[in-house]
Structure 1
């Protein structure tokens, strides 16, 4: 998830703050599900928006674009005022970069010609690294700079055969809304959600981070339609979760045991068919999934 702010004033990003008509904030070019979560700018929405990376762009890329963060949001009757700062490590994006990212970030046909603020459900840093606009080293250094302010969870080692029943490990793909909703739900139960990218690496590789932070009593794996896959020769594909999600699902089953891991499935997503006895729960609009998850957690000793 990231913020994309586009202004027709070439001096908008010279200094903070920036003021925008409220009707153009978190509404235009924003998916309905995302817009409903953020367009009212309540306290929770503001905190989440401040945690997302942001691209600051001048209409039609008249100047180079910048990467940074929103640090404060003030809501007025007809406008929204944001304070912002640029990332001191990440470079400017050359003129034409945003256009080059059009497909990757789902940029609307005339979007670059319109002053507005949109929230995009795309992994912007992953895209920028893959396209060569920033290096992995620059991204790691930028992340390390922000880590001290990120919510940090210390894993609890309760000994062999014991499980930490105050934390829940959440595995997710690119669906940020599903991830945020699940984290909100776990927090509402008085538990601590552990989301891997929010924990400091401290020099660890991804697999080492998974090992280090998965000393929990329960794991939730979000199967969301992030990828498309099919057998060789098939003309049509099926929606699938990201490969890391399937891998971490299997890892948690091996480490915690099947009763302590539940997969939550959003929409029509292909699920692995070679693991028997796996619990799959539908992320339904009636929120029945919440009661189902509480039942599963209670069965392994969680007080929820």
Structure 2
């Protein structure tokens, strides 16, 4: 997910604040599901919008675009005022970069000619790296500035006791589903542990999983992010990302089956060899939350 702010004036991004008409804020060129989540700017919406990276662009790329973050959002009667800062590590994007990424970032046909604020459900850093505008080292250094170093703690699973103040969340590319699960966990006064939001501190991915999964419960989010099929088949089925299946099995081995639940969104193929675990359907009515509470209570959580 990322914020895309486009302004008619080349001077708009010379200061640290910007005012956007309310009717153009998180409404235009934004998927309905995303717009409905953020356009009312409640507290959760503001916090989530501030956590997303942002591209600051002028109409028709009259100037170089910048990468940064929204630091504050204030509402007025007919407008939204944001404070922002550019990332000190990430370079400016050359003129023409936004147009070159049009398909990848879901840019509308006339969007570059329209002053507005959109929110896009695309992995912007992956796209920028793929197009050669950033490299992995720059992105990691940038993220390290935003994420505090993890405290040095003793293992949290000792002699069969578990840390019941945290919940480890495994997810794919569906940002909305990930945020829904994280907000649910937070609403229970628990801390959601999302791997990419934790400091790496030189650790490999598997070392990060080992370090941050010392919790009492794990939620694995199966969303239709990939398509797979047997050799020779003409059609495939939606599947979760491979990392999701791997981390699901890892958590079962570390925490035990009763401390891990999988939340399934849509028609997604699930692994046959771990079919004995709990699968909860992510329904629009939200009953999945009540089902998860039951499982968490069974694991010793007071929710």
| Normalised-by-shorter TM-score class | over 0.9
Inter-CA distance 235–9: structure 2 relative to 1 (3 Å threshold): farther
- Secondary structure of the residue aligned to 2:105 is coil
| CA shift digits 1:64-85 (9 cap, x unpaired) | 1110011111111111111111
From the superposition, tell whether residues 71 and 147 of structure 1 become closer, same or farther in structure 2 (CA, over 3 Å): same
2:154 and 2:108 mapped to 1: Cα distance? 43
Q: Provide the alpha-carbon RMSD of the alignment.
A: 1.8
1 CA distance for matches of 2:91 and 2:294? 48
Identify if the C-alpha distance between structure 1 residues 237 and 203 changes in structure 2 by more than 3 Å, giving closer, same or farther.
same
* Contact 2:157 2:215 (8 Å CA) reproduced: no
Equivalent position of 2:255 in the other structure: 256
Cα gap change, 1:234 to 1:102, in 2 (>3 Å):
farther
Q: Deviation per CA, 1:150-199, whole angstroms, max 9, x where unpaired?
A: 99896752413222122110011121211111111111212211111121
Q: Where does residue 99 of structure 1 map in the other structure?
A: 99
- The 1:265–1:133 alpha-carbon spacing in structure 2 relative to 1, beyond 3 Å, is same
Mean alpha-carbon deviation: is it higher for 231-240 or for 85-94? 231-240
Helix, strand or coil: the match of 2:209? Answer: helix
Other-structure match for 1:297: 296
SS of the equivalent of 1:138 reads helix
What residue is the counterpart of 1:80 in the other structure?
80
Number of the residue aligned with 2:244: 245
Aligned pair count reads 303
Match of 2:40 in 1: 40
How far apart in 2 are the matches of 1:241 and 1:254?
19
Q: 1: CA distance between counterparts of 2:178 and 2:250?
A: 19
Q: What does residue range 130-145 of structure 1 map to in structure 2 within 5 Å? A: 130-145=130-145
1:166 maps to what in 2? 165
Q: TM-score, normalised by structure 1?
A: 0.94
1:227 Cα deviation (Å)? 2.1
Gaps of 5+ in 1: none
TM-score by length of 2: 0.95
Question: Are the structure 2 counterparts of residues 85 and 155 from structure 1 closer, same or farther at C-alpha, using a change threshold of 3 Å?
Answer: farther
- Residues 153 and 199, structure 1, Cα contact 8 Å, conserved in 2: no
Deviations 1:103-123 (A, max 9, x none): 221111211111111111111
Question: Residue 132 and residue 23 in structure 1: after superposition, are their counterparts in 2 closer, same or farther (change >3 A)?
Answer: same
For residue 86 of structure 1, report the CA deviation from its aligned partner. Answer: 0.5
Which position in structure 1 is the counterpart of 2:5?
5
What residue is the counterpart of 1:22 in the other structure? 22
Conserved? CA contact 1:72–1:83, under 8 Å: yes
Partner secondary structure for residue 4 of structure 1: strand
Distance 1:151 1:8, change over 3 A: farther
